[in-house]
């Protein structure tokens, strides 16, 4: 997670999730990487 200040006091939060070499019931799954960004203004 990271927070970056923006204009007018806005803060952008970045959240990344990575599933490296995941497995389900002993079988490999497709790797999935998610990057989400959220803007928050106090």
Distance CA 31, CA 3 (A): 26
Predicted local distance difference test score (pLDDT) of residue 18: 82
Predicted local distance difference test score (pLDDT) of residue 39: 96
Where the chain has pLDDT below 50, the residues are none
Kindly tell me the sign of the dihedral angle through the C-alpha atoms of 21, 24, 28, 30. Answer: negative
Domain ranges of the chain: 1-18+34-42
Predicted local distance difference test score (pLDDT) of residue 29: 74
Q: What mean pLDDT, rounded, does the chain reach?
A: 87
């Amino acid at each position: 997670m990271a927070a970056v200040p923006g204009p007018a006091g806005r803060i952008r939060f970045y959240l990344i999730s990575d599933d490296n070499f995941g497995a389900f019931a002993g079988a490999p799954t497709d790797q999935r990487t998610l990057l989400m960004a959220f803007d928050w203004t106090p």
